[in-house]
Structure 1
Amino acid sequence: MSDGMAGGSTPLGPVAALRRIAFLLERAREDTYKIKAFRAAAAAILPLSPEEVAERAAAGTLADLPGVGASSAAVIAAAARGEVPERLARLEREHAGPLAAGGRELRALIRGDLHSHSDWSDGGSPLEEMAFTAIELGHEYLVLTDHSPRLRVANGLSAERLARQLGVVDAVNEHLAGSGFTLLKGIEVDILDGGELDQTDELLDRLDLRVASVHSKLKMDAGAMTRRMRSAVANPRTNVLGHCTGRLVTGNRGVRPGSEFDARTVFEACVEHDTAVEINSRPERRDPPTRLLELARDVGCLFSIDSDAHAPGQLDMLDYGCERAEDAGIDPDRIVNTWPRERLLAWANPLREAA
Structure 2
Amino acid sequence: MEATDALDEIAFLLERNLASPYKTKAFRGALSAIEAFTADEIEAGVDDGSLKRRKGIGSTTWTVIEQAVAGEVPDYLADLRERIGGPVTKAGTKLRAKLKGDLHSHSYWSDGTTDLATMARTAERIGHDYLVASDHSPSLRIANGLSTERLEQQLDELATLNEGFDDFRMLSGIEVDILETGDLDQSAEMLDRLDVVVASVHSKLRTPSREMTTRMLAGIRHPRTNVLGHCTGRLVQGSRGTRPQSTFDAKAVFAACAENDVAVEINSRPERQDPPDDLLALALDAGCLFSIDSDAHAPGQLGLLDLGAARAEALGIPADRIITTWPVDKLLEWCR
Using structure 2 for the length normalisation, give the TM-score: 0.98
Structure-2 residue corresponding to 1:175: 164
Cα deviation digits, residues 256-275 of structure 1 (max 9, x gap): 00111000000000011000
Displacement of 1:118: 0.6
Q: What is the deviation of 1:46?
A: 1.8
* Separation in structure 2 between the aligned mates of residue 276 and residue 31 of structure 1, nearest angstrom: 32
| 8 A Cα contact 2:133 2:170, kept in partner | yes
Q: What's the counterpart of residue 228 of structure 1?
A: 215
Structure 1 position 191 matched with structure 2 position 182: no
Per the TM alignment, residue 60 of structure 1 is displaced from its structure 2 partner at its CA by 3.4
- Of residues 5, 9, 14, the one that matches 1:25 is 14
- Distance in 1 of aligned mates of 2:164 and 2:90: 36
The residue type equivalent to 2:130 in the other structure is Y
Checking the alignment, whether the CA contact within 8 Å between 1:249 and 1:284 is kept in structure 2 is: yes
Equivalences for 1:324-335 in 2 at 5 Å? 324-335=311-322
1:112 matches 2:101 = yes
**1:304 pairs with 291, 312, 331, which one?**
291
Aligned counterparts of 2:227 and 2:43: Cα–Cα separation in 1: 49
Give the alignment partner of residue 55 of structure 1, picking from 44, 64, 75. Answer: 44
Match of 1:254 in 2: 241
Q: Which amino acid aligns with 1:195?
A: G
Shift of 1:89: 0.8
Q: Is the 8 A contact 2:178 2:199 kept in 1?
A: yes
Query: Residue 72 of structure 1 corresponds to which residue in structure 2?
Result: 61
Q: Distance in 2 between matches of 1:218 and 1:119?
A: 26
How big is the alpha-carbon RMSD for the aligned residues of Structure 1 and Structure 2? 0.9
Aligned to 2:114: 125
Query: Offset at 1:102?
Result: 1.0
TM-fit CA distance, 1:83 = 1.4
Q: Which runs of 5+ in 1 are unaligned?
A: 1-11, 350-355
Preserved CA contact (<8 Å) 1:63 1:69: yes
Deviation of residue 238 (structure 1)? 0.2
Q: Which runs of 4+ in 1 moved over 6 A?
A: none
**Correspondence for 1:271:** 258
Asked if the contact 1:188–1:211 (Cα under 8 Å) also holds between the matched residues in 2, the reply is yes
The correspondence for 1:292, drawn from 279, 285, 299, is 279
1:312-327 maps to which residues of 2 (within 5 A)?
A: 312-327=299-314
**Range 281-290 or range 78-87, more displaced:** 78-87
TM-score, normalised to structure 1, is: 0.93
Q: Deviations over 1:80-114 (max 9, x none)?
A: 12211111111111111111121111001101001
CA contact (8 A) 2:96 2:306 kept: yes
Residue 160 of structure 2 corresponds to residue 161 of structure 1: no
- Note the alpha carbon deviations across 1:267-298, whole angstroms, 9 max, x for none: 00001100000000000000001110110011
Q: Aligned letter for 2:150?
A: R
Quote the Cα distance in structure 2 between the aligned partners of 1:262 and 1:275: 16
Deviations 1:224-254 (CA, angstroms, capped at 9, x unpaired): 0000000100111000000000000000010
CA distance in 1, matches of 2:219, 2:41: 55
Structure 2, unmatched stretches of 5+, are none
Whole-angstrom CA distance in 2 between matches of 1:224 and 1:49:
58
What code does the residue aligned with 2:316 have? Answer: G
Q: In the TM superposition, what whole-angstrom CA distance separates every residue of 1:130-149 from its partner, at most 9, and x where no partner exists?
A: 00001011111111100000
Identity %: 56
Conserved 8 A contact 2:46-2:52: no
CA contact (8 A) 1:27 1:95 kept: no
Q: Report the secondary structure of 1:261's partner residue.
A: coil
Local SS of the residue matching 2:180: coil
Give 1:15 shift: 1.1
Contact 1:282 1:308 in 2 (8 A): yes
Aligned pair count?
A: 336
